[in-house]
Amino acid sequence: MSTIGVLALQGDVREHAAAVERIGATPSRVRRLAELEAVDALIIPGGESTTIDKLLRAFELFEPLRDRIHAGMPVMGSCAGMIMLATDIVGAIDGQRSLAAIPMTVRRNAFGRQVDSSEVELAWIPDGSTMHATFIRAPWVESCDPSVEILATATGPDGAAHPVAVRHGNAIATSFHPEIAEPGAVHDDRVHRLLLELV
């Protein structure tokens, strides 16, 4: 059975771990190097990208994580996790770093502030169906290399469609929170299953 780590520094760690269990893998919280080295794949939850960057450095995980991703370890990032996986960040603070796993430019807080959070039905391109998505202070993809596969788009406050889910090699990123479901609703674990398929 595959072990999928959840970076346990900030964000919906418990919800992502529950999704990992639902897809038939073993979840593992990752805070230390030995824990990172023991997993087959990793999820970077949402939160605040500048804080995640600082915590990765404080826990001496930034370089080892970047190296494992660039060596081929499957990785998924949601919301702030998407920002961490981008090569370029619009609205980054001075000194903010990313793991540069996906050749794309993302815009921080593109969908607005916390009060502008929303839930929408997305067209999920891989299977032609829809997906219920929750956006919380979400980024979007401003631009990406042609090698990046766009999995879903959403209309932003500017009236234009922007990529909000992408895949590139061993990396998957979403603007929205795939670990969140409405109370009483069946969880949609397709994004997490895509990660498991890469293991």
Q: Known catalytic residues?
A: 79, 177, 179
What DSSP line would sit under 72-95, residue for residue? T--EEEETHHHHHHEEEEETPPTT
For residue 161, give both structure tokens: 């469609």
Q: Say whether 2 counts as a known binding-site residue.
A: no
Q: Say whether 47 counts as a known binding-site residue.
A: yes
For residue 55, give both structure tokens: 């915590």
Q: Say whether 72 counts as a known binding-site residue.
A: no
Q: Which of 90, 148, 152 is nearest to 120 (CA)?
A: 152
- Report strand pairing: 118-124 vs 102-107: unpaired
CA distances from 44 to 37, 38, 52, 130, 132 (A): 15, 16, 9, 24, 20
Q: Say whether 121 counts as a known binding-site residue.
A: no
Q: Which of 166, 172, 174, 130 is nearest to 149 (CA)?
A: 166
Q: Say whether 137 counts as a known binding-site residue.
A: yes
Residues at the annotated binding site? Answer: 47-49, 108, 136-137
Residues at the annotated binding site for L-glutamine? Answer: 47-49, 108, 136-137
